[in-house]
Amino acid sequence: MSGDTEQDGDKMSKPVYILNGPNLNLLGTREPDIYGSDTLGDIEARLNTLAGNAKIVFRQTNHEGELVDWVQEASTQAGALIVNAGAYTHTSVALHDALRACDVPIIEVHLSNPAARESFRKRNFVAPVAKGTIAGFGAQGYELALQAALKLIT
């Protein structure tokens, strides 16, 4: 029993990784009618406030291999992982495989609702390995995901 408590305590002391894929650096200017007017910096600032005493690691990349490297890092360094893989959601078997190997709870986030958009967005390589998906709530989806992640690790 004490081993479980130590593991739970260890998970709580680890940060929540929030990883963002391609083009999310353009938030605030890219198709605000779909993605909203918040920048990624705005979202990060709100999450830092919402996290309270919990630590978050917030990153964005346009490079698939870098995102895979960060998922692998999160597997050992994070208590939970929130991922908005952007277009890699629909294309990346490499990301799927990295997430499948990840040993922490994964929450998928999308600003828009991919299921209500173009048909090519209906294929999803992230959802099958995620604990859950939050989609269609704009930037608030990140806040909902962080709340869920913190509950999962406490």
- Domain at 2-153, CATH homologous superfamily: Dehydroquinase, class II (3.40.50.9100)
Cα angle for residues 24, 135, 65 (degrees, 5° grid)? 40
Verdict on whether the full-model pTM lies above 0.75: yes
Q: Please say if 35 is a catalytic residue.
A: yes
Of 17, 88, 110, 142, the active-site residue reads 110
**Domain spans of the chain, in order of start:** 2-153
CB 108 within 8 A of CB 81: no
Of 35, 88, 96, 142, the active-site residue reads 35
- Mean pLDDT, consecutive 10-residue stretches, the chain (154 aa), reads 48 90 92 80 97 97 98 98 95 97 97 73 85 95 98 94
Per the DSSP assignment, residues forming a β-bridge with 56 are: 16
Burial class of residue 4 in the structure, from the number of CB atoms within 10 Å of its CB (0-12 exposed, 13-18 middle, 19+ buried): exposed
Cα angle for residues 6, 154, 10 (degrees, 5° grid)? 30
